[in-house]
Structure 1
Amino acid sequence: MSAVNTDAQVRPREIVEAVRRLEAGELVGLPTETVYGLAADAENPEAVAKIYAAKGRPADHPVIVHVHRLADLGHWAAEVPETARQLAAAFWPGPLTLILPRKPGVAQACAGGQDTIGLRCPSHPVAQAVLAIFKGGQGGLAAPSANRFGRISPTTAAHVQAELGHDLLVLDGGACAVGIESTIVDCTVQPPRILRPGLLQAADLAAVLGVSAEALQRPADDAPRVAGALPAHYAPRTALLLRTREQIHADLAQANDTRRIGVLARHALEDGISATWMQLPDDPAGYAQRLYAALRELDQAGLDQIWVEALPPTQPWLALRDRLSRAARGSGAPGN
């Protein structure tokens, strides 16, 4: 996955200042390749509580701990199965979160009341620079998306500050290269199973583990709770509807429809149609990288509804269908 302006204007002194604040129990906006995170010392319960308060996050909703590429996973996990080591060797640093049995007494504030922990090694150079010196490279940062709980994830520093305020130090690492959250894999069972899809595909994971993609995608009703898995999530305040291309064009052709409609599509605006139209790339990686920024722009445009063109029912688009279906359920809720 290609980098997208990931080496923006972060200077060494800003890295040092961010680490100082994190080690003092403060919050920092941190760029990763997926989305921007609201970071705090994962082993400081008071600092992690500040994340939950700032986001309005439910107490039983766990947060992922981000670690340096040379970190000792045994510090966090009571056990690191061979399958987890294989996946980490193949895909870290990168957009993959591993769910492991949590070592008793470690990062309890991040666990949402469970005996598991989610670990990720981000590939963004700014995140790695912070993690390299935070607690001598062996610390972990709780860093859920830097937005109000359930809302659209931020993919630029400006998104974070617009939502959480300018008093928060946000390291500007440019636009996120991936643009949607990591694939989450439960390694507390064998073979592992995918609990949240991401752009890292089941087939890629399966090839490393020597199992079928279907085995990794089996039902997981008894699985640990993980970030971003609630039915309503990633949502704009404007009502969002998923519609076919044909439905979009048929309804916009009605001359007596006075609604202000925004459309997110994979094809260009056609003649004779009046709408706020945004075209995203017709490939999963390009679409993902621009999705949340596009949703934020439409959400701020004073529209009555946002119509999103339905995505292909194929594996490469699975994670994006997941995000949009949750966004549709959570959109337009009273009081948001």
Structure 2
Amino acid sequence: MSTVYDCTDPDSRVAGLTAARTALKSGRLAVIPTDTLYGLAADAFDSAAVNALLAAKRRGRDMPVSILVGSWNTIDGLVFSVQPRARDLIRAFWPGGLSLVVQQAPSLAWDLGDTRGTVMLRMPLHPVVLELLREVGPLAQSSANVSGRPPATTVHEAREQLGDLVGVYLDGGKAEHSVPSTILDLTADTPRILREGAVPTDQVAEVLGLSPDELTPETAR
């Protein structure tokens, strides 16, 4: 049985955050609001919970989950080496709609799928999920939908697809952007946009001192 908590109501928000914290720390899933789309979340360091997340979405390990963090400093323990250009991007766009693919710290005891030593990180701009992240730590997450179906921009769209596979749904209103985050790969010498979304490519390029074409693979032009 699942429960939806209206986080625009102060009492319901407190109850919802408590329920989500309990569920996540017990290896269960929660649907959370972000500024881009609704996310399906699990404890990043609980491999069984991450596998349950992938199963709920009906997707394989070849499509690994990303990580949401609640502060700039959290990434220092997750990344092999935080490059100056990553710091510049974080200062410019976090919290917000830019996801960064970086080399993960080799000592991390987690299993996010077939990541090949990388991790995708983002700090979302939504007060409900930021409060949750600061209470429970990094969360593994993916969009709150079944693979192949439209991503959820409201909690009701997420619940219609995921139902009782998720026990806690936090309703933070309609997602502000209603589009996915922009994904930037920083694992090679030259940064590459893997997906343009909430943050335009030209804004990313400006921070990096590059032209938009330099960030976009030939096949995507």
TM-score of the pair, normalised by structure 1: 0.60
Partner of 1:184: helix, strand, or coil? strand
1:244 paired residue number: none
SS state of the match for residue 142, structure 2? coil
> In 1, distance between residues paired with 2:153 and 2:215?
28
What residue is the counterpart of 2:152 in the other structure? Answer: 154
Q: SS of 1:143's equivalent?
A: strand
Matches within 5 A, 1:131-170: 131-134=133-136, 139-166=137-164, 168-170=167-169
Q: Which residue of 2 aligns with 1:17?
A: 19
Counterpart CA distance in 2 for 1:177 and 1:15 is 20
| Aligned partner letter, 1:190 | D
Residue 193 of structure 2 is matched in structure 1 by: 194
Q: Does the aligned pair in 1 maintain the 2:58–2:146 contact within 8 Å?
A: yes
Structure 2 residues without counterparts, runs of 5 or longer: 1-5
2:175 is equivalent to residue 176 of structure 1? yes
- Stretches of structure 1 that go unaligned for 5 or more consecutive residues are 1-5, 222-317, 319-336
Per-residue deviation, 1:218: 2.9
Deviation of the 1:18 alpha carbon? 0.8
Deviations 1:79-119 (A, max 9, x none): 11111111011000001100000112426421424110000
Deviations 1:183-230 (A, max 9, x none): 000011233110111131111011111111111113489xxxxxxxxx
* Aligned position for 1:207: 206
Change in 2 beyond 3 A, CA 1:131/1:78: same
How far apart are the structure 1 equivalents of 2:107 and 2:70?
A: 21
Provide the secondary structure at the position in 1 that maps to 2:158. helix
Aligned partners of 2:203, 2:7: CA distance in 1, in Å? 27
Which amino acid in structure 2 is aligned with residue 46 of structure 1? A
Aligned pairs for 1:145-294 within 5 A: 145-166=143-164, 168-219=167-218
Alpha-carbon distance in structure 1 between the residues aligned to 2:115 and 2:206: 33
SS at match of 1:25: coil
Counterpart for residue 98 of structure 1: 100
Aligned residues of 1:42 and 1:110 also touching (Cα < 8 A): yes
Q: What is the identity percentage for the equivalent residue pairs of Structure 1 and Structure 2?
A: 37
| 2:8 aligned partner | 8
**What SS class does the counterpart of residue 165 from structure 1 fall into?**
helix
For this pair of structures, how many residues does the alignment match? 213
Q: Give the alignment's TM-score, normalised by structure 2.
A: 0.90
Q: Deviations over 1:43-70 (max 9, x none)?
A: 1101101101111111111111000024
Structure showing greater Rg: 1
CA contact (8 A) 2:7 2:170 kept: no
Task: Specify whether residues 66 and 23 from structure 1 end up closer, same or farther in structure 2 by C-alpha distance, changes over 3 A only.
Answer: same
Are 2:99 and 2:122, in contact at CA under 8 Å, matched by a contact in 1?
Answer: yes
Compare 120-129 and 188-197 and name the one that shifted more: 188-197
Once the two structures are superposed, residues 139-178 of structure 1 have per-residue CA deviations (whole angstroms, 9 ceiling, x without a partner) of: 2111101111121100111111111114521000010000
DSSP-derived class of the 2:63 partner: coil
Q: Name the CA distance, whole Å, in 2 between partners of 1:215 and 1:82.
A: 19
1:41 corresponds in structure 2 to: 43
